[in-house]
Amino acid sequence: MLFTILQNAPGGPLTPYLQNPHITEADIARLKHNLGLDQPAYIQYFKWLFRVLQGDFGWSMSNSEPVTQAILERLPATLELMGCAFVFSLAIGVTAGIISAVRQYSVLDYTVTTLAFFGQSMPVFWFALMMQLAFSVVGITAFGYHISLPSAGISSQDNFDLGDRIQHLILPTIVLSLLFIAQWSRFMRSSMLEVVRTDYMRTAAAKGVSATGVILKHGLKNALIPLVTVVALSLPGLVAGAVVTETIFAWPGMGRLFINALGQFDFALLMGYMMMVSFLVVFLNLVADVCYAWLDPRVKYT
């Protein structure tokens, strides 16, 4: 489906070349023949699929390097931002959801609910720009760090500064986490409200277990089961959300790479990026199924 959509996009795979005002019809015909674009679409697809199965995603015309190399160079920066955003979102979202459920209809509950609606409604690009305007003028760096690109002869290993890196991570992490904190806190609240009303929770409290012990030892693990599905399906969204966040904060990751490839219609690079995101969706669904068995002993796989 992705291949068909990109094949039928305006301009097609030759868009980067067509932007050259000196290109001729003969040049276009020669390029189509050299790239196999003069063949039927299904032949092009099977040739592309055959190369992908061998680990060859093609050549990036916008970066003048193999697609795999272009993605791998920027993968560490994206994983760094995604990892920080994931840990931050999970910690804040789960904690806020538990507190909101335990203190239902309190001022704190209403505050968490209001902030959750705010997070779900706030456009990422606007919030990112407002964060830059509000905080970059008081000492928190707003833009991305210098990345090591071996293909360009650039290396930042000798200039690595942990404190500087953390400063650069603060604003992108908050912006990327906002939506997921809002969603996960609401799911956690709903799930925890169902758990706290169960008989085994009342039995544990009647046996003298402290309120904190009842919530964390007996309630949290069961309340996490519905959240696992939501989190697993949301993780690819961290990649999608990083497209906007990385572009605004000049973060040198795959999201920014995707925007550049989209602007120049780099067919091979677009396909490589979207195939990777598609793989993440399938793989993380598998991870969610495995986590079910760990959280709930009643789930068995044979």
Residues 210, 253: one domain?
A: yes
Residues 198, 219: one domain?
A: yes
With a pLDDT cut of 90, the percent of the chain lying above it is 17
Residues 77, 7: one domain?
A: no
Tokens found for residue 117: 């609606």
- Domain membership of residue 301 (yes or no) is no
Residues 148, 245: one domain?
A: yes
**Can you give the pLDDT at residue 96?**
93
Residues 232, 100: one domain?
A: yes
- Domain membership of residue 149 (yes or no) is yes
Q: What is the mean pLDDT of the chain?
A: 82
Q: Please give the Cα distance from 47 to 286 (Å, whole number).
A: 29
Give me the number of domains the chain comprises: 2
- Of 70 and 154, the structure prediction assigns the larger pLDDT to 70
Q: Give the burial class of 138: count Cβ atoms within 10 A of its Cβ; 0-12 exposed, 13-18 middle, 19 or more buried.
A: exposed
Q: How many CB atoms lie within 10 A of CB 148?
A: 16
CATH number at residue 155: 1.10.3720.10
Q: Please give the Cα distance from 104 to 157 (Å, whole number).
A: 50
Residues 225, 177: one domain?
A: yes
- Domain membership of residue 300 (yes or no) is no
Residues 194, 253: one domain?
A: yes
Q: Which residues contact 65 (CB under 8 A, 6 or more apart)?
A: 59, 151
Q: Where are the alpha helices (DSSP H) in the chain?
A: 2-7, 15-18, 25-35, 41-53, 67-102, 107-121, 124-135, 162-196, 199-206, 211-213, 220-248, 254-264, 267-295
Residues 119, 148: one domain?
A: yes
- Of 12 and 258, the structure prediction assigns the larger pLDDT to 258
Residues 149, 32: one domain?
A: no
> Residue 14 — pLDDT band, cuts 50, 70, 90?
confident
- Domain membership of residue 10 (yes or no) is yes
> Residue 168 — pLDDT band, cuts 50, 70, 90?
confident
Per-residue pLDDT tens for 244-295?
888 888 888 888 888 888 888 888 899 998 888 888 888 887 887 787 777 6
Which range of 93-97, 229-233, 264-268 scores highest in mean pLDDT? It is 93-97
Residues 222-236 have a mean pLDDT of 81
Query: Of 269, 88, 264, 56, whose CA–CA distance to 176 is shortest?
Result: 88
Tokens found for residue 8: 């039928």
Residues 14, 113: one domain?
A: no
**Domain C-terminal end among 28, 56, 84:** 56
- CA–CA distances in Å: residue 65 to residues 53, 56, 61, 125: 19, 12, 7, 30
Residues 32, 79: one domain?
A: no
- Domain membership of residue 61 (yes or no) is no
Residues 130-143 have a mean pLDDT of 68
Range of the domain at 32: 2-56
Residues 146, 261: one domain?
A: yes
